[in-house]
Structure 1
Amino acid sequence: MKLELAHRSLGVFSNQNREKCWIDSRSGHKSLMLFPRSFNIAWEHVGDYWIWISVTEPSASGDTEIEVPRLVGSCCLGVHGVVDMSKLTPGVQYELVFVVELDGISDGRLDTPVDLCLVLPDGQRLVQKMVLGTIPKSQWIELHVGDFQTPQQPGDVEKEITFSLCTQQGFEWDEQVCWSDLDTRYGFLIEGAVVRPKK
């Protein structure tokens, strides 16, 4: 992960600092990071559920302040993003990971399974469950969402894939699908999602 952070520091921002692209030195292929302001996050504008904090992200043009969300109260968890495969290297096997953290003051009983979901252009859904409360605290952790192959030629297939981190499979949640038994503060932060060549 340290090597990847070094590569990220040479990346170039785009899409109003919502994305950053760099070249993986091992493979020579493009990597991409999607920052949280590019996501659709359930209840993201409700201060009782989420607060947004600034963190420094290095790049080829210098340090830039980006915003990351911190879950601070009981709510539904629904985080949804989209990857434009035309921004990646054709014909390459990629993996997608969320980068998240449980901070040191997290005291929520995060024992409810969440779904990590990747939806491919053909509609295939790759879903795995995990319990957020099992990850180490006070450090950025990668949550593997899934792997996919970029098309050999641009325009071969639909260019977009979608991914999510939700309390219910995919992104078909509503106000009733909540952690109703969790009434404490969580301290769950999302730095973004990294799309990189599969090792």
Structure 2
Amino acid sequence: MGASPSREEAHSNSSFSGNGKAMAVASSASSSGSNQAQSKRAPALHMFQEIVAEKDFTASSLEDQIYTGIFLAGKTKKYWVDERTRNNCFMLFPRGLSITWSEDPRFWTWKPLKEGSSDADTDTQIEVPSLQNVCWLEIHGKLERSYLTPGVTYEVLFEVMLIDPAYGWSVPVNLQLKFPDGTVQQRKENLEEKIRMKWLELKVGEVKTQQGQKGEIEISMFEYDGGLWKRGLLIKGIKILPKQ
């Protein structure tokens, strides 16, 4: 779960204009078959223009990247579309998150990491922070709610890895979603007995957006009440994916 989907299906039902707009392919069928052609036509990509407004794609490069992933905001965010469902998917990378003390090497150090498993991603690197020692753990990320495909239930997950020496995790961390109207989802996760040296997905919560809902969702991981110094946590980012 979480890897950008492979491009297995043909793109015969839709094409893209040079300015980035998703356009339905005009049917050349006779009027008697027009209804059937319409039913097979792929739906337009939700909020595509708004999401990639900073990018300048040609039709061919856009069609090549939409299912493998488009990096945004200086490679601090990745956006792709599930080819089967046409639902939007997102990954928020650490350089786009707010991490307390992250620029002080006494507390966090940064290292390069190759992103993705597809051939298109082999030369793409992100930076991930490695926790050296903190007693105040606090990480926040944000995503515009309207970018999520309406009517689809999404899971929000922190992707992390515990590396030895790892200590200070006997007090559970807090995982929280805060919505624009002030409502909050929160749960706790105990990392003490989690497997080491393997990427873990920590579920924060779920969100289902209706058409027209706007505002930023804040996604958080924090623990600062237990008083324990903590070490040995790599942060790869936050995934926002349709629930399987």
- Measured after TM superposition, the shift of residue 6 of structure 1 is 4.7
Which residue in the other structure is 1:198 paired with?
243
Q: Aligned to 1:7, which of 1, 5, 8?
A: 5
Which residue in the other structure is 1:22 paired with?
80
Per-residue CA distance 1:127-177 (angstroms, 9 max, x = gap): 10122212211100000001111221xxx233211110001xxxxxxxxx4
TM-score (ref. length: structure 1): 0.83
- Measured after TM superposition, the shift of residue 102 of structure 1 is 0.2
Letter in 2 for 1:162: E
Q: Is the 8 A contact 2:144 2:214 kept in 1?
A: no
Greater CA drift, 107-116 or 52-61: 52-61
Which structure has more helix as a fraction of its residues?
A: 2
Structure number with the bigger relative contact order (C-alpha 8 A, sep ≥ 6) is 1
Q: Aligned to 1:133, which of 183, 192, 196?
A: 192
Q: What SS does structure 2 have at the residue aligned with 1:37?
A: helix
Q: Is the 8 A contact 2:146 2:213 kept in 1?
A: no
Change (3 A) 1:144 1:181: closer
Unpaired segments ≥5 residues, structure 2: 7-66
Q: Is the 8 A contact 2:166 2:233 kept in 1?
A: no
Q: Is the 8 A contact 1:74 1:180 kept in 2?
A: no
Change (3 A) 1:107 1:94: closer
Q: Aligned to 1:56, which of 91, 111, 114?
A: 114
Moved over 6 A (4+): none
Q: Aligned to 1:162, which of 191, 206, 218?
A: 218
- What is the aligned-residue RMSD (CA, Å)? 2.1
Q: What SS does structure 1 have at the residue aligned with 2:134?
A: coil
Change (3 A) 1:106 1:61: closer
Q: What SS does structure 2 have at the residue aligned with 1:86?
A: helix
Q: What SS does structure 2 have at the residue aligned with 1:47?
A: coil
Unpaired segments ≥5 residues, structure 1: 168-176
Which residue in the other structure is 2:132 paired with?
72
Which residue in the other structure is 1:174 paired with?
none
Per-residue CA distance 1:92-127 (angstroms, 9 max, x = gap): 211100000001x22313101211000122211101
Change (3 A) 1:61 1:140: closer
Which of these two proteins has the greater Rg computed from alpha carbons?
A: 2
Q: What SS does structure 1 have at the residue aligned with 2:165?
A: coil
TM-score (ref. length: structure 2): 0.69
